Amino acid sequence: SYGQGAPAVAKKLNIIEFEAKELMFKFKSYTKEYIEWLGAFLDTAQTNRKMSTTMGWERHLLAHQNVAKRKDPSSENRSNKNWPIQATASDILRAAILLMDEHHIETVALVHDAVMIHAPIPELKQTVALAKNCMIKGAVEVLGAPIPVDEKTYFSNFKQKEKDIQEVFEVITKHVKDK
């Protein structure tokens, strides 16, 4: 909820405010350690007038910003509460991509909190396993602990059919014979 109050949560989930309060209480009890860490993080940010990730990414606070106000529902304060988790995820992705590059894994794109890679089909299984390992090592580098990493494999619609491969081979063979 990143600072949203019960009325906003109720409206967003199309439930009554009492249910929203119950959900928010459960969320806070399940994530107590994170909530405490976030509070300490925001207190430090308020004192230093900036937020920083372990890898040095910074967000400077404007003079009027008071991130220590826990109940401030403004979108600006919600953004500040969201920043540490998003910036840390970005650090993890950055570290993972650098590791993937060292292992010559072809990175195609970043998709929110995921990395799209490209690999030849015969090498796919081992490349995916190596990429997952790079993601885990990236998290250890940034957080000091591993994170779970899942995978999804997509075969694009550009996969050639056997008859197309044969046609290409015939064109190449004809071209070579003509020379």
User: In 3D, which of 105, 86, 88 has the Cα closest to residue 97?
Assistant: 105
Give dist(CA 104, CA 98) in Å, integer.
10
Residue matched to tokens 């995916």: 128
Q: How far apart are CA 77 and CA 42, in angstroms?
A: 10
Q: Which residue has the tokens 């000091």?
A: 144
What is d(CA 30, CA 50) in angstroms, rounded to the nearest whole number? 28
pLDDT at 37 over 90: no
pLDDT (average), residues 149-156? 83
67-80 residue pLDDT tens = 766 565 556 677 88
Q: For residue range 106-151, list pLDDT tens digits in order.
A: 999 888 888 999 998 899 999 999 999 999 999 999 999 999 999 9
Please name which of 136, 58, 128 lies closest in space to residue 92, comparing C-alpha atoms. 136
Q: How many helices (H) and strands (E) does the chain have?
A: 6, 4
Rg over alpha carbons for the chain, rounded to the nearest Å, is: 24
> pTM for this one?
0.69
User: CA-to-CA distance for 152 and 116, rounded, in angstroms?
Assistant: 9
**Cβ 63 vs Cβ 57: under 8 Å:** no
pLDDT mean over 45-53:
91
